[in-house]
Amino acid sequence: MITVVANLKGGSGKSTIAFNLGIWLLTKGETVIAYDLDPQKTLTDVSLVRKDEGINPELHVKNINGSNISEELRSNFCHVLVDVGASNMDAMKAAISVADRIIIPVPPSQPDVWATQRFLMIIHEVCGERVPDLIAFINRADTHHAIRESDEAEEALKMLDRVDILPGRLCQRTDYRRSLSEGLSVFELSNKSKGSEEFKLFADTLFPNLIN
């Protein structure tokens, strides 16, 4: 399965999601290859931190350029994770064209909702009638119940056509920043933390067939 983690707007947490999801799949005994098509190379950097620290399992991250991206992604017979942003639009369109599903992290702000709407237009332009599964969710959600931006953004997402909205949210937590800096997933940092619990629920929802 080719899973693309993408959105138009920077800072939505794509690399954090791709990294943690990759490690989660590996801990389930799955074979995973990740592709870092974002010029910032955050996924590449965190995988190198993990390798340098000798942390297992190792997440293998590949970097490719040029016109053969679609063929390269299709050549794998395992879980393929793709981290790509709008700063590499050609690569984004190539990944979208072969994706089985697209995971769209959306921070709780009106500009991020607008960017998601435009991103969906690009997906439909690229894919035509063969639209992959589209899954959006609120990322970096507010943790205080009195702040309404996350609820409002989720309600706006529910109005979009042909998009499944995950009921669970990933909140704005220090664990996610530590995850990247230390080369550890949030559930490796602390298996009982709030960040760990919400991410495992998120991953279980995406891959229900892998629930133990």
Q: What is the CATH number of domain 2-144+152-204?
A: 3.40.50.300
Q: What percent of the chain has pLDDT over 70?
A: 99
Q: What separation in angstroms does the CA of 100 have from each of 28, 126, 127, 130?
A: 20, 13, 11, 10
pLDDT, tens digit (0-9, with 9 covering 90-100), for 142-175: 887 767 899 999 999 999 989 999 988 999 999 9
Q: Would you say residue 199 has pLDDT above 90?
A: yes
Which token pair is 10?
Answer: 């920077």
Summarize the confidence of residues 21-44 as an average pLDDT. 96
Residue ranges covered by each domain of the chain: 2-144+152-204
- Mean pLDDT, all residues of the chain: 93
Residues sharing a CB contact under 8 Å with residue 79, sequence separation 6 or more, in sequence order: 1, 3, 25, 30, 31, 32, 33
Q: What percent of the chain has pLDDT over 90?
A: 85
Q: Would you say residue 81 has pLDDT above 80?
A: yes
Predicted local confidence at residue 146, as pLDDT: 67
Summarize the confidence of residues 73-81 as an average pLDDT. 94
Summarize the confidence of residues 28-42 as an average pLDDT. 95
Q: How many helices (H) and strands (E) does the chain have?
A: 9, 8
Summarize the confidence of residues 118-136 as an average pLDDT. 94
Q: Which is more confidently placed, 86 or 136? A: 136
- How does residue 66 score in pLDDT terms, banded at 50, 70 and 90? confident
Q: Would you say residue 70 has pLDDT above 70?
A: yes
3-state SS class at 149 = helix
Predicted local confidence at residue 9, as pLDDT: 87
Predicted local confidence at residue 67, as pLDDT: 74
pTM: 0.95
